[in-house]
Amino acid sequence: MIEEIRIRDLGVITESTLPLGPGLSVVSGETGAGKTMVVTAVGLLLGNRADAGAVRSGAKSASAEATLALPAGHAALARALEAGAEIDEYDGGAQLILARTVGADGRSRAHVGGRSAPIGVLGELGESLVVVHGQSDQIRLKSAAAQREALDKFAAEAERGFGTRQAAYTDLYRRWQQARAELDALRTSSRERLREAESLTQALAEIDDADPQPGEDEALKAESLKLANVEGLRLAAQTAHEALIAEDYSESPDATTLVDEARRQLDSVADSDAELADTAKRVAEVGYLLADIARDLAGYIASLDSEGPDRLAEIEDRRGVLAVLVRKYAPSIDEVLAWADASRHRLDELSDDSGRIESLAAEVDAAETSLDALGAELTRDRRAAAAKLSKRVSDELAALAMPDAKLVIEIAPAGRGPHGADDITFLLRPHAGAAPRPLGKGASGGELSRVMLAIEVVLAAVDPVPTFVFDEVDSGVGGKAAVEIGRRLAMLAKHVQVLVVTHLPQVAAFADQHIVVTKHPVSKGAGFTSSDVRLLEPEERVVELARMLAGQEDSATAQAHARELLADARTPST
């Protein structure tokens, strides 16, 4: 709900704060005092179009700011966080601040949770936070989707099992859509899929004929490099081998001979010094290691002699075969093998098209039969709920000085949709003999506000929005009808927060909070009127109601009448 609204330089209001609470809050004041600026401020905070003409004369800009208290998990909080808002959280809820500034040049800025945001974000948040019913404001139930949703929420309470059937229909519809989409895709792309299968078959045959092995391309590359440089490798290996073990006729001592001589010298004195004995052992180990290396080099030289030009030609031929695969299918042989595995799986899928098409077609047919049956049950429930909703709203309209008005809910056949097979339309028959017309057409602003009040009162328990704002709801009525309007606003306020701009004391008497807009005389040289807004104390309410009743706030008779209105408003209706 809205905890507080702050207004600055909007219309005739210089700077004011409206403290709001739960229940019913009314705003009253003399004609021209600026009562409608409260509704204008709310509209700005809901993302309505900004009007530079609403900026107070002489001011550079106007602003409206609201502090809202919302329960944890409310959809508006998630959207505000997406917009970068900073939100104050507390046990069980959170506080969100919305702000809007309108410059005298027509430029407008919005802030959500202290962060700048597009104006459209305010509109998105407003859809789940506040509903305004007034002279030119949009009707909450103007769209077919909103009307269907409202009727369904009412039906969920009025018709046993409707919610379960609706959930089952929605789930089945989703699965039917998925199956039908897959079936359509299979049927429309059969030629493409056939060509894809043929292409994969040829590619896999080529890969299977080549029979590449994991890592084979890299192994052959290394072997090819070795054979291409065989003479250099042989010379280096032979030179190293001779340095380790020289031929008998060599004049230069080899490494193994020198190491063996060193070992013999150390062994000759090993008994005299343990340290040299250990060193002799280590030198002996070096000798063994050098002998092993020499044998390995000899074997390496022998292998070079066995791998000649024929092997090199064979390797290059094989590399050529693998290069074709790499060029066509993947950057390396390992990736070619991975691509082949994935393609075999895809080929299996493509080969099973005919069986899958038959299975999906049967699934789609069965789902359509079930959808039609469930849809018929939903239609039956909706017709029953529509009759109840229409009667209850029409009864409310009779009490609101529209005795011949009737809410007509049309349910027409439609194709299968995500919520059933019905087109739902809310219509208003303003008086007997008149043709029903869509909501918002054929009714004055005051009549439309009363129609929406009647609907909201009936729907309040099943389709609540945190805050409702009504302007002109009491236009053109008085007496008993005005009392009934006030009573129904109070009924609605048991479920949600309600803010009403009114000029009728019968309505204001039902308020939980009474706010008055006071017009100040024009200051000399100022050239314009200014107003302020304040919350009335109990005795001040009596004075304001007396003014609203007779224009004589100091009249004892008027005040007595005002006290009587307040007492009657607190008395439960029978």
Q: At which residue do the structure tokens 């919520």 appear?
A: 419
* Highest averaged pLDDT of the listed ranges 78-87, 267-276, 477-486: 78-87
What confidence score (pLDDT) does residue 478 get? 75
- Whether 231 maps to a domain, the answer reads yes
What whole-number distance in Å separates Cα of residue 465 and Cα of residue 153? 13
Question: Which amino acid is located at 255 in the chain?
Answer: A
The string of pLDDT tens digits covering residues 111-169 is 999 899 999 999 889 888 888 876 555 567 778 888 999 999 999 999 999 999 999 99
Rounded to an integer, the average pLDDT of 37-51 is: 87
The structure's pTM equals: 0.64
Query: Which residues span the domain enclosing 278?
Result: 216-331
- Whether 16 maps to a domain, the answer reads no
Say yes or no to pLDDT of 420 above 90: yes
Rounded to an integer, the average pLDDT of 93-109 is: 91
For residues 357 and 23, the model is more confident at: 23
- Whether 285 maps to a domain, the answer reads yes
For residues 362 and 524, the model is more confident at: 362
- Percent helix / strand / coil, the chain, rounded to 5: 55, 20, 25
Rounded to an integer, the average pLDDT of 15-24 is: 89
Write down the mean pLDDT value for the chain. Answer: 86
- How, if at all, do strands 130-133 and 115-117 pair? unpaired
What confidence score (pLDDT) does residue 552 get? 80
Say yes or no to pLDDT of 42 above 70: yes
Rounded to an integer, the average pLDDT of 477-488 is: 84
Structure tokens at 50: 């900004």
Residue 368's pLDDT band, with cuts at 50, 70 and 90, is very high
Burial of 535 (0-12, 13-18, 19+ CB in 10 A): middle
- Whether 51 maps to a domain, the answer reads no
What confidence score (pLDDT) does residue 528 get? 60
- Whether 440 maps to a domain, the answer reads no
C-alpha distances out from residue 436 to 216, 402, 426, 432, 497, Å: 82, 15, 9, 10, 31
What confidence score (pLDDT) does residue 139 get? 63
The string of pLDDT tens digits covering residues 170-229 is 999 999 999 999 898 888 777 777 888 889 999 999 999 999 999 988 888 887 877 777
What confidence score (pLDDT) does residue 525 get? 52
Say yes or no to pLDDT of 272 above 90: no
Rounded to the nearest angstrom, the gap between the alpha carbon of residue 471 and the centroid of all alpha carbons in its chain is 33
What whole-number distance in Å separates Cα of residue 561 and Cα of residue 568? 10
What confidence score (pLDDT) does residue 133 get? 79
- Whether 155 maps to a domain, the answer reads no
Say yes or no to pLDDT of 33 above 90: no
Rounded to the nearest angstrom, the gap between the alpha carbon of residue 337 and the centroid of all alpha carbons in its chain is 42
Say yes or no to pLDDT of 403 above 80: yes
What whole-number distance in Å separates Cα of residue 403 and Cα of residue 401? 6
Residues of the chain with pLDDT > 70, as a percent, come to 93
- Whether 220 maps to a domain, the answer reads yes
Say yes or no to pLDDT of 240 above 80: yes
**20-29, 146-155, 242-251, 312-321: the lowest-pLDDT one:** 242-251
- Whether 177 maps to a domain, the answer reads no
Rounded to an integer, the average pLDDT of 317-327 is: 90
User: What domain count does the chain have?
Assistant: 1
DSSP-derived letter for residue 565 is: H
